[in-house]
Chains A and B, each alone.
Chain A
Amino acid sequence: MSPSTPSRPGPSRGRTRRAVLARLLATTAALTLGAQFTTSFTAAQEVAPADLRMAWWGGEPRAVATRAALDLISAKYPGVTFTTEWSGFAGYFDKFATQVAGGNAPDIIQMNFAPELADYGSRGVLLDLGPYVASGKLDVSGFNEAALASGSVDGVLYALPLSGTTPATIINQTKFGALGLAEPPADWTWEDFAALAAEIPKAANGAYVGADDASARQEVYEVWYLGRTGTQLYNDAGERTDTVDDLAAWFQMWADMRAAGSIVQPDVQAAHTPGDNATMPFVLGRSAMTFQWSQGQTTLASLQPDDLGLALQPSAGEHPHQYVRPGNLISVTARSRNVDTAVAAVSAFVSDPEVLKVLGMTRGVPSSSQARALLEPTLTPIDQEQVAFIDKVSSGALTAAPSASFRGMLDVDQLFTRTGQDIAFGRVSIAEGAQRFLDQAADLLAR
């Protein structure tokens, strides 16, 4: 697949697939005629036929590319077919948990880094891939130590990272261009952010505001907190490390921006459910900046007409706040009835050159150096930006990616949203909201 046309099957992809099929047919013919030479496709003989189910979340370009990649794998391994389950992220893991409980989980599953990987890994839902790596059935030659470590829980390899991602600020370049604003520098602070966000609605005559309201999103708060304190939000005992002062400072900063009209109004922000990108105020053209994972540039670009750019998240202090973590990973479920075939399919998914080309960057900047080397010659401008951004972040000062997984963390996450909304709508004061949050969070974590 040509990455230049991620949203629809372009002509180049058709050619690639036809070429592969032609080569496949030629190889098969040669084998049937009794030719004795070894090709890369002799491996096909060792894979038992099966119908595999694969589930993933993501946008349409990813779905198109994934289906095409699975077609290639089917062609490579005769008798191996795929049933696909594609959805958005919202509800994805609700469905997966139910399927696991019902004993009909997909064989291959796109995994999320935190907290799901540790959660499902430690509960025995995911297959230990270590033995397959050792026996050479799973080709991980493209992954370095760090990449494999990011797919491991307590030293057991449960997943292979498909892409790396980092927290970013997504900039609407079209709007910035129209207003004659310069894009933020790499070392910008939250004061810079607030100043820029205040400038935008004035320059745009109120047609849109500076940014989405991220005050109720704990993952954005977390990055802010890392820069402010240099401490992870949860300690090893699973307790919060932040204080009322931290929370109050965060909410006050957003309250000031709200009062200045720099960010979208609370009711507009609350109409958006995280995970449902189409309802994001930024996507609806109501603001010029939002906070997202870096690959959000590509995902959101396909949902609205403007050009989107990337910036780091602003810093809140001296400490490094950016980190790189797997954007998504791929796992095999432990109770799959076709474990060997599923591992072979995953192996092809992460190492077969044709498959990697078809997948392109639809899952973000690949974690596999093999995939990156294959894709780099033909990257589109937006994909080049993605790669350059991850490289830039990786070469800067980094902090460890939050990977804690404790019971009750999801409750606390939802409590944070509720607290942020209560404050934004003026239902509770900042001081009271911050204190209530910490009290209730401690309760939920001790539950």
Chain B
Amino acid sequence: MTTPSAAGAHPAAPCPSAQARRWRQRHSASAFLMLSPWLIGLVVLTIGPMAMSLWLSFTNFDLLTAPDFVGARNYAYLLRDPRYAQSLWVTFIYVAVSVPLKLVVALALALLLAKASFGIGPYRAIFYLPSLLGGSVATAIVWRIVFGADGIFNVALGWFGIEGRSWISTPDTALSTLIALSVWQFGAPMVIFLAALKQIPADLYEAAAIDGAGPARMFFSITLPLLTPIVFFNLVLQVINAFQTFTPSYVISGGTGGPSDTTLLYSLYLYLEAFTKLRMGYASAMAWVLLAIIGVITAALFATSGRWVFYADKGDRT
């Protein structure tokens, strides 16, 4: 961006404002040129398809024949589609259980790994490893095997005399295996927590220790309050991610969302409608409603954040 002082640098020019405009035009042209790889990507790969999908959500597009405008019929059908209601229910449970659990595990491990000691590096890497593999099809397949009828989870239960079952294909437990898989991928929030823990000034702990505070008191009075911005950040990111989870439910249920639709996550139902039943219009409507749901929940998180997120620098200013 040019600034007014740029024009002032040439006081002898006959018409400074015109020259400034030319200068500005030339510079914004080159700015746009430099931005173009990203801009083209944004328009062609993001804004274009989004606009297209918004239009399609008002049509009956079936991939093979030209779309017809059907008004808000797709959105209206969402309200009375029992399978859609089921997918919403499954997704809300998945998000509400997996995200807090994952954050607790990530924070607990970050606390353990934050203690600087010799040889901690490899341990941090090992704990981060599942997250690198996490979203992959391979892990989901492994999960399927581990929690299947002949899986090692049942073998382990057998040592304690507990009779196992096929956890992935029993309606009461199928979703729990997906949640466990999600929690197991705690690496990304853990790394962020680790970095944040290093930022907490050591003198706070020293002062607290002198005042006689124990480890629990220090955690709840110093560590946790100072980490709340990071908790908030991780919470928002993980909620958004969790709503979009697709791969594990697709792979573990063999693309069906079964048994009895108990693993039918939102994205999986959207996929089934779009690509197995070719209801692109309906699936597009589902996608826009998901965007709205995520938007509303994220906004709600931001709205409540003032009550529990503590910014140390803000406190300094008042």
Chain A contacts to B: CB under 8 angstroms: 90-91, 93-94, 97-98, 100-101, 120, 123-125, 265-273, 276, 279, 410-411, 414, 417-418, 421-422, 425, 427, 440, 447
Instruction: Return the chain A residue nearest B261 by Cβ.
Output: A418
Are the CB atoms of B82 and A271 closer together than 8 Å? no
B168 within 8 A of A: yes
Complex interface: chain B residues within 8 A of A266 (CB): 170, 259
With A414-B256, A425-B171 known as contacts, the answer to whether A94 contacts B275 (CB < 8 A) is yes
Chain B residues with CB below 8 A from A100, complex form: 63-64
Is residue B65 within 8 Å, beta carbon to beta carbon, of the partner chain? yes
Whole-angstrom distance between the Cβ of A398 and the nearest chain B Cβ: 31
Is B259 touching A101 in the complex (CB atoms < 8 A)?
no
Query: Could you tell me if B277 and A270 are in contact, using CB atoms closer than 8 angstroms?
Result: no
Interface membership of B255, Cβ < 8 A: yes
- Decide: A447 and B259 in contact? CB cutoff 8 A: no
Give 20 new A-B contacts, CB below 8 A, not counting A94-B276, A101-B64, A267-B149: A90-B255, A97-B64, A100-B64, A123-B64, A124-B65, A265-B165, A266-B170, A266-B259, A268-B169, A271-B169, A273-B253, A279-B254, A410-B277, A414-B272, A418-B258, A418-B261, A421-B171, A422-B260, A425-B171, A425-B260
A101 surroundings in chain B (CB, below 8 A)? 63-64
The residue of chain A having its C-beta at the shortest distance from the C-beta of B61 within the complex is A101
From the candidates B82, B253, B272, B276, name the one contacting A93 in the complex (CB within 8 A).
Answer: B276
For the residues of A in contact with B, the DSSP-based class is helix
| Shortest distance from the beta carbon of B71 to any chain A beta carbon, whole Å | 15
A421 near B259 (CB under 8 angstroms)?
Answer: yes
Most chain-B CB neighbours within 10 Å: which of A93, A269, A270?
Answer: A270
- Separation of A125 and B165 alpha carbons in the complex (Å): 45
Contact for B166 among A91, A123, A271, CB less than 8 A: A271
> Which residue of chain B lies nearest to A120 when distances are taken between CB atoms in the complex?
B64
Bound: A265/B261 CA distance, A: 18
Docked Cα-Cα span, A276 to B256, in Å, equals 12
Residues of the A chain whose Cβ atoms lie less than 8 Å from the Cβ of B65: 123-124
- B233 contacts A by Cβ under 8 Å: no
Closest residue of chain A to B282 (Cβ to Cβ) is A447
Residues from chain B with Cβ under 8 Å of A273 in the complex? 253-256, 258
Total A-B contacts with CB atoms under 8 angstroms apart: 76
| A267 touching B166 in the complex, CB below 8 Å, given contacts A418-B260, A447-B77 | yes
| Given known contacts A268-B169, A270-B170, A421 and B254 CB-to-CB distance under 8 angstroms | no
Judging by beta carbons under 8 Å apart, are A268 and B64 in contact?
no
A435→B139 CA distance, assembly (Å)? 39
Known: A90-B254, A267-B170, A271-B166. A97 touches B259 (CB 8 A): no
Most buried by A among B77, B169, B171, B261: B169
Q: Determine if A98 and B63 form an interchain contact, defined as CB atoms under 8 angstroms apart.
A: yes
**Which chain A positions have C-beta within 8 A of B171?**
421, 425, 427
CB distance from B142 to the nearest CB of A (A): 15
Q: Which residues 267-310 in B have Cβ within 8 Å of A in the complex?
A: 272, 275-278
The DSSP consensus for interface residues of chain B is loop
Q: Separation in Å of the A153 CB from the closest CB of chain B? A: 14
Give the nearest-CB partner of A123 in chain B.
B64
What is the chain A residue whose CB lies nearest that of B276? A94
Is B148 interfacial (CB 8 A cutoff)?
yes
What 1/0 mask marks residues of chain B from 232 to 270 whose CB sits below 8 Å from any chain A CB?
A: 000000000000000000000111101111000000000
With both beta carbons as reference points, the residue of chain A lying nearest to B164 in the complex is identified as A267
Distance of B107 from chain A, by nearest CB (Å): 34
In the bound assembly, the distance between CA atoms of A440 and B86 in angstroms comes to 14
CB-CB nearest in chain A for B62: A123
> How far is B273's CA from A410's CA once the two chains are assembled, in angstroms?
10
Within 8 A of A (CB), among B140-177: 148-149, 165-166, 168-171
State how many angstroms separate the Cβ of B226 from the closest Cβ of chain A: 47
A93 and B259 CA atoms in complex are apart in Å by 22
| CB nearest neighbor in A for B278 | A97
Docked-complex contact B275 and A98, CB < 8 angstroms: yes
Q: Report the minimum CB–CB distance from B110 to chain A (whole Å).
A: 36
A91 touches B259 (CB 8 A): no
Residues of A within 8 A of B149 (CB): 267-268, 271
**1/0 per residue B57-80: CB within 8 Å of A?**
000000111000000000001000
Q: How far is the CA of A125 from the CA of B171 in the complex (A)?
A: 39
CB-based contact B63/A270 at 8 Å: no
Chain B residues lying within 8 Å of A94, measured Cβ to Cβ, are 275-276
Residues of A within 8 A of B166 (CB): 267-268, 270-271
Could you jot down 11 A-B contacts, CB within 8 Å? A91-B255, A97-B64, A97-B275, A97-B278, A125-B64, A266-B170, A267-B259, A273-B253, A418-B260, A421-B259, A425-B171
Q: Kindly identify which residue among B82, B258, B275 contacts A421, using a CB–CB cutoff of 8 Å.
A: B258
Q: How far is the CA of A100 from the CA of B62 in the complex (A)?
A: 11
Q: Which residue of A lies closest to B253 (CB)?
A: A273
Tell me which residues across on chain B come within 8 A of A410, comparing CB atoms: 276-277
